[in-house]
Amino acid sequence: MSCAYLFPGQGAQFCGMGKELYDRFELARKLFAQADDILGFPLSDTMFHGSEEELRDTKVTQPAVFLHSYIAYQCLADRKPDMVAGHSLGEYTALAVSGALQFEDALRLVSCRAEAMHQCCQKQESGMTAIIKFDTSTVEEVCAGITDEVVVAANYNSPKQIVISGTLAGLQLAEARLREAGARLFVPLNVEGAFHSPLMESARKQLAEAMEKTPFGKPYCPVYQNVSSKPEVDVETIRQNLLVQLTHPVLWTQSILEMAKNGAETFIESGPGNTLQSLLKRIDPTLSGASIFTILS
């Protein structure tokens, strides 16, 4: 039976995340301490005791979700995956689990990415909005028709959930036109800015500099990357796709379907929350998914 591991991205965080792992496993305690030392601040303390507001800070959120997901896998997984994928930030966890990145290097890149994206968000008011139960192609057409503001399709989460990203004015204009076209359910995302859009270009440049100094290795299993939705094992392709990901959409629906087509029979989510399990059922109700906490503990 082929097993795929999935790793969540920003938005999955919750107060107290990781404390259960810390209390149960010596390995978790070592990894949390190592992470605090690498980052130069007590991330574990914020994860265990911080407020929702503190955990929403991109500079905290991204390394916290990465760390929780990685440690959960290391402590609870009973077998190596046959394939992996991560949603946005979660792609770094997938690469660390598959051996393409060492833990320390992945954490440093995640921290760099978070800081660079945070800086982008400070330059211009922007955000992201999910459109629920509406035609994806119409959303794409509406975004393409708006040329005086930035607004693009950013996350293809399921056949009936697409997230758009852009300036606040662009989002407002897109929502107005989509309402005219029949869309009714809009959910603003609790994020700092327009991730996976052209507004992240300066963050891409900063991350590129950090990646030049970071060693990558060939993963022991295919990594289904966000920008291609295809299984990747080539080191240079993986590196370039990570950079492109910052300014291009997350093809999550396409990735899940590709993994299923290539033999994935069980999808295990490793990390905080159950967002990816929920999306899995919306993409294809016949697919089998579960949390690492419920089936491998």
- Encode pLDDT of 159-211 as tens digits: 999 999 999 999 999 999 999 999 999 999 988 899 999 999 999 999 999 99
Q: Work out the percent of the chain whose per-residue pLDDT is above 70.
A: 99
- 3-state SS, residue 126: strand
- Model confidence over 120-150: pLDDT tens digits? 999 989 999 999 999 999 999 999 999 999 9
| pLDDT tens-digit series, residues 47-87 | 999 999 898 888 999 999 999 999 999 999 988 999 999 99
Q: Do 22 and 46 touch, CB atoms closer than 8 A?
A: no
Going from N- to C-terminal start, the domains of the chain cover 2-122+198-295, 124-188
- What is the pTM (predicted TM-score) of this model? 0.96
Size of the chain in residues: 297
d(CA 297, CA 284): 26
- Dig out the tokens for 188 from the structure: 């603003």
> Which residues are catalytic, by number?
88, 196
pLDDT in tens, 97-119: 999 999 999 999 999 999 999 99
Q: Which CATH class is domain 124-188?
A: alpha beta
The CATH class of the 2-122+198-295 domain is alpha beta
Render pLDDT for 25-34 as a digit per residue (tens, 0 to 9).
999 999 999 9
Instruction: Look at residues 193, 178, 296 and name the one whose alpha carbon lies nearest to residue 247.
Output: 193
Instruction: Please give the pLDDT value at position 182.
Output: 96
